[in-house]
Amino acid sequence: MRELVRTNDPVLISAIEALLKGAGINHLIADQNMSVLEGSIGIFPRRILVAEDEFEAAQRLLAEAGFGNELRRDAG
What is the per-residue pLDDT for 31? 84
Place 63 in a pLDDT band, splitting at 50, 70 and 90: very high
Cβ atoms of residues 12 and 66 within 8 Å = no
pLDDT tens per residue across span 11-57: 999 999 999 999 999 999 998 766 555 556 667 889 999 999 999 99
Whether 76 has a pLDDT exceeding 60, the answer reads no
Q: What domains can be seen in the chain, in order of their start residue? A: 2-67 (3.30.70.790)
What is the per-residue pLDDT for 45? 87
Q: How open is the CA angle 47-49-54, to the nearest 5 degrees?
A: 155
**pTM, two decimal places:** 0.82
What is the per-residue pLDDT for 67? 95
